[in-house]
Amino acid sequence: MAKITIRNWEDVSPYIGHETAIIWPIYRGVGEPGMPLEEAPMEGMVGFTRHMMQAGKSGDYHDHEDREQVYYFISGHGKMKLDGEIYDVREGDTVHIPAKIKHQLINDSDDWIEHLLVTAETG
C-alpha cells in the first residue's frame, strides 16, 4: 500500500551537481539504492529536486539517455542552452526537456536562480 510522505527541503542534505548547482533531492524513485521509502516514494518518476545556482555560474552541458525533465523556475533569470540554442528563462517559466536533448543552465545574472526539477524515465 502506498504511503503518503511530507518532506521539507530544509530537512534534506544538499549536494553539488552539474558542476555548480546546489541540489536538494526531496524525492527519488522507488528502489533508489540506500534510500528509505520516505525519501524514495515515487513510482512513476525518478526524482523531484530543488536546485539553486549562484550568480555568474553555469552547469555542465549534458543529456540523459532515458529521462525527460521539467524545470520550473521559482526565482531569478538566466539562460538555458537547449540542443545548441540559447533561450532566456525567468521566474514562472517551465521548460520541458525530452530525453537525449543536451541542456545547460546558465546564470548570467547578478542574482541566484532557483528552480524545481522533475525527472521521469522514458519508455
pLDDT value, residue 1 = 55
User: Is the pLDDT confidence value at 2 over 80?
Assistant: no
Q: Is residue 43 part of a domain?
A: no
Q: What is the pTM of this model?
A: 0.90
Total of domains in the chain? 1
Q: Is residue 39 part of a domain?
A: no
For 7-24, the pLDDT digits (tens) are 999 999 999 999 999 999
For 90-116, the pLDDT digits (tens) are 999 999 999 999 999 999 999 999 999
User: Is the pLDDT confidence value at 5 over 90?
Assistant: no
Q: Is residue 23 part of a domain?
A: no
Q: Is residue 80 part of a domain?
A: yes
Residue 61, domain CATH = 2.60.120.10
pLDDT value, residue 123 = 73
Q: Is residue 85 part of a domain?
A: yes
Q: Is residue 30 part of a domain?
A: no
For 49-96, the pLDDT digits (tens) are 999 999 999 999 999 999 999 999 999 999 999 999 999 999 999 999
Q: Is residue 75 part of a domain?
A: yes
CB 6: neighbour CB atoms within 10 A? 5
Quote the CA–CA distance of 78 and 87 in Å, as a whole number: 9
Q: Is residue 46 part of a domain?
A: no
Answer with the residue of higher pLDDT: 74 or 38.
Answer: 74
Phi, psi angle pair for 47, to nearest 5°:
-170, 160
Domain with 100 in it: 57-106
